[in-house]
């Protein structure tokens, strides 16, 4: 029964947004798309995306050709393909990937009805991509770290008490948004000092996956990661064997960051209706419910849908960080390179 209700929602959303169902009446809107096919480039968690795509195909009859890869490779590929790109939708992991493609004027406007389904701050300020899910920046610490020495601010991590104990993964696309936040809060010089402190304190890891594993083994005592890495690790090693716990930075701290994964329609797509319908689906009740129950452990963004996992509630964290603040991440990157972390 839930499925019937939600199928109605998708049809309704799609009908309202694109107007292609206006003449059809009744259930005509989704049958209009039946038999069409779209190509989706996805940098998101592959398995959850496969689940979403399968459900969308079942509901709309649209065939989805899904290409999963690292979001940066996909952005690079889109830039090389230019207007000849076979892609209709780009589903990224972090805003800077979308901003990079946006800067080349390659994105179409997202239907306003779709944008209205999630908080305005979670989507592109100019309305050419829509936020789908969110991830929070956290501090993962080995259980050997006493509660009294847990950091409340990312600034603490540059202090002498973390010397030789910290792990960082500066080449991950999740890391530079924190730097961008610090630049915004205190200016580039303070950010540069902070990074130098981190470099002096920390062991550099190549990915968040290896970082969280090293924290769990006690190779380093703690590090900044996105929350879901911890949940996925817990799944793999078992709740009784994990020796790491999560800590959230205080409200207002640059480390109290909530980052969005968004999706966009390519301006050159020849299947605009079907592509827009896919975006509408991603923020619909059924899709957000899949995200809420999947083991990618991200926060669904649609109001009223709560993650089924034991995540710290999204509204107890500082709000979603505006994509405009993050930009394409270039200033942060320059600083990372200047201090020798990249």
Partner 1 sequence: MPAPLGLLAALVLLAVGAPLIFVVVQAVDAGWAPARALLHRPLAMELIWHTVALTAAVTATTAVLGFGAAYLVECTDLPCRRVFAVALVLPLAVPEFVQGVSWVSLTTSVRGYWGAVLVMTCSLYPLVYLPVAASLRRADPVLTEVAQSLGRGRWSALWRVVIPMTRPALGGGALLVCLYLLGEYGAFAALQYQTFATAIYTEFKVAYDTASASVLTLLLCAMAIVVVAGEARVSGRQPTTRAGTDGRVARPVRLGWGRAPAFASLVALLAVALGVPLAALVYWFARGNSSTLPQASVWSEAQLTLTYALTAGVIATAIAVPLALYSWRRRTRVAVAVERGAYLTRALPGIAVGLSIVYAAIHYAQPVYETSAMLVVGYVVLFFPLALTGVRAALAMVPPGVEEVARSLGVRPWRVLVRITLPLILPGLGVAAALVTLSASTELTATLLLRPIGTDTLATQFWTYTTGLAYGAAAPYAAVMIGVSVIPVLLLTRRGVTR
Closest approach of partner 1 to the CB of residue 313, in Å: 23
Closest approach of partner 1 to the CB of residue 32, in Å: 24
Rule CB under 8 A: which residues touch partner 1?
39, 45-47, 65-70, 72-73, 75-77, 79-82, 84-86, 96-97, 100, 171, 173, 176, 203-207, 209-210, 212-214, 217, 219, 229, 232-233, 235-238, 295-296, 328-330, 333, 337-342
Q: Are strands 222-226 and 166-168 parallel, antiparallel or unpaired?
A: parallel
Helix (H/G/I), strand (E/B), else coil: 247: strand
Helical H segments across the chain, by residue range: 2-18, 28-33, 46-60, 71-81, 95-102, 112-115, 176-186, 188-201, 208-217, 227-237, 272-282, 285-293, 323-326, 330-338
Closest approach of partner 1 to the CB of residue 175, in Å: 9
Closest approach of partner 1 to the CB of residue 131, in Å: 20
Contact call for residues 339 and 196 (beta carbons, < 8 A): yes
Closest approach of partner 1 to the CB of residue 166, in Å: 14
313 burial level (CB within 10 Å; 0-12, 13-18, 19+):
exposed
Separation between Cα atoms, residue 192 and residue 195, nearest integer Å: 5
8-state DSSP, 261: E
Instruction: Name the residue nearer to partner 1 (CB basis): 237 or 246.
Output: 237
Instruction: Name the residue nearer to partner 1 (CB basis): 72 or 246.
Output: 72
Instruction: Name the residue nearer to partner 1 (CB basis): 33 or 87.
Output: 87
Query: What residues contact 326, with CB distance under 8 A and at least 6 apart?
Result: 95, 96, 99, 177, 180, 259
How far, rounded to the nearest angstrom, does the alpha carbon of residue 84 sit from its chain's CA centroid? 27
Instruction: Name the residue nearer to partner 1 (CB basis): 71 or 111.
Output: 71
Q: What is the per-residue burial (b if ≥16 Cβ within 10 Å, else e) of 202-230?
A: bebbeebeebbbbbbeeebbbbbbbbbbb
Instruction: Name the residue nearer to partner 1 (CB basis): 6 or 49.
Output: 49
Instruction: Name the residue nearer to partner 1 (CB basis): 51 or 152.
Output: 51
Closest approach of partner 1 to the CB of residue 220, in Å: 10
């Amino acid at each position: 029964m839930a499925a019937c209700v939600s199928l109605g929602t998708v049809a309704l959303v799609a009908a309202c947004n694109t107007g292609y169902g206006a003449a059809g009446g009744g259930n005509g809107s989704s049958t209009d798309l039946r038999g069409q096919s779209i190509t989706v480039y996805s940098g998101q968690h592959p398995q959850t995306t496969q689940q979403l795509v399968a459900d969308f195909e079942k509901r709309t009859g649209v065939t989805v050709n899904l290409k999963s890869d690292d979001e940066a490779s996909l952005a690079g590929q889109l830039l090389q393909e230019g207007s000849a790109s076979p892609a209709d939708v780009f589903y990224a992991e972090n805003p800077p990937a979308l901003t990079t493609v946006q800067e080349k004027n390659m994105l179409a406007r997202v239907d306003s009805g779709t944008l209205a389904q999630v908080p305005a701050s979670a989507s592109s300020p100019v309305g050419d991509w829509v936020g789908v899910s969110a991830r929070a920046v956290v501090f993962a610490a080995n259980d050997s770290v006493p509660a009294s020495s847990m950091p409340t601010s990312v600034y603490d991590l540059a202090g002498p008490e973390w010397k030789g104990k910290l792990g960082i993964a500066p080449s991950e696309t999740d890391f530079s948004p924190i730097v961008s936040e610090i630049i915004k809060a205190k200016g580039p010089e303070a950010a540069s000092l902070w990074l130098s402190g981190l470099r002096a304190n920390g062991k550099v890891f190549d990915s968040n996956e290896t970082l969280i594993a090293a924290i769990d083994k006690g190779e380093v005592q703690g590090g900044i990661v996105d929350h879901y890495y911890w949940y996925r690790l817990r799944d793999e090693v078992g709740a009784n064997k994990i020796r790491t716990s999560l800590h959230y930075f205080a409200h207002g701290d640059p480390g109290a960051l909530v980052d969005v994964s968004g999706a966009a329609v390519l301006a050159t797509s020849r299947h605009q209706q079907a592509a827009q319908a896919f975006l509408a689906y991603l923020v619909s009740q059924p899709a957000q419910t899949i995200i809420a129950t999947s083991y990618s452990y991200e926060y669904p963004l649609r109001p009223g849908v709560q993650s089924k996992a034991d995540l710290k509630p999204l509204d107890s964290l500082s709000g979603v960080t505006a994509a405009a603040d993050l930009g394409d991440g270039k200033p942060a990157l320059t600083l990372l390179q200047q201090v020798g972390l990249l």
